[in-house]
Chain A
Amino acid sequence: MGTNGNVNRCSSAYGWGEAAGFANTIAIGAAGGAKAAVSGYANFSHSLFPARWATGALKNRKWWLDNRFGKWLAGRRSHNRLNGDYVPWQLHARMDELAYRSLSAVDKLRAGIPFGPLRQAINRMPYLPGSAFFGVGSAMMNSSGDDCGCGN
């Protein structure tokens, strides 16, 4: 429509609009991750840190987890979605060798073969922070190269 030429990119309103768009992109990403994470599955997969690492670290009083933050983030009973997601049991078994071993033969047949190390690593990224990172990344890509050129 030819209106782009009338936009003052140096104005504070333009700056605030850009910042709001950036925050909105992150929020949409995080909301999408949250929605994906609570869609009714009963199996909680401690995906970023396996619960057994956290339990071991808490037992051995490792300084980096033996505190309230560590218990909140990675404790066995803490279903913290910064460190995992509610996932279908089949996916849990395929991402975690110990979860696979604990299944009966019938469920092993239904679940399928555990993923390889690379695919496990990709799948273990929790949806909530993963989506937020994706939001940040896409917002930064969108905002690059938008300098107005006025030097301010």
Chain B
Amino acid sequence: MAVETNKSFIEKMHGAIFSGKNAFDSFETSIIQAVIEKMDLEDANILRSQLALLNSTHRDYDEDKKKLVVYFYWKYFGKPRTDFPLKWEASEKERKLARVHIAYGDELSITADLFVVLGCFFYIEFSSNKEEFRPPSPNFVIKDVEVFKV
């Protein structure tokens, strides 16, 4: 599905330079890719179109909940934008989009919950059995992906 946008020249230049760069690490990219493969076509298109614009990340370790939360922003001249060309028409402000279970051998298991806020994909919440939120090497296995209808 093509996305029609009326971007100004400055928006196009800004997008060409900054969008989609350095927002995700390889582990996050694998998780998101696994979710997209499980989604229906319409939701996958919305997610892909938003991912293409996200350009900033904020990683925050919550000591109380023992969770790592990674927030993704579409930042435009320092300000966050939420007017994505394609958005979910969510009735609730915050909804869980998907849950992914990842295993690294027998010793480490990580759960990643992906959330949509105001119709925009916004954050991933990682929890783990050992307070390690990244597998030590790329030899991890995505064991299960649950996708929820937004």
Residue numbers of A with Cβ under 8 A of B are 100-101, 104-106, 108-114
Contact = CB atoms under 8 A, between A and B. Distances in A.
B14 to A, nearest CB: 16
A109 B58 contact: no
A108 B59 CA distance: 13
B94 A106 contact: yes
B117 interface: yes
Contacts of A105: 93-94, 115, 117, 122-123
Nearest to A119: B78
Contacts of B78: 112
A109 B82 CA distance: 8
Contacts, number: 39
Contact of A110 (B56, B80, B94, B123): B80
B75 interface: yes
A113 B73 contact: yes
20 contacts: A105-B93, A105-B115, A105-B117, A106-B117, A106-B118, A108-B71, A108-B122, A109-B73, A109-B82, A109-B117, A109-B118, A109-B120, A110-B80, A112-B73, A112-B75, A112-B78, A112-B79, A113-B56, A113-B73, A114-B58
Contacts of A114: 58
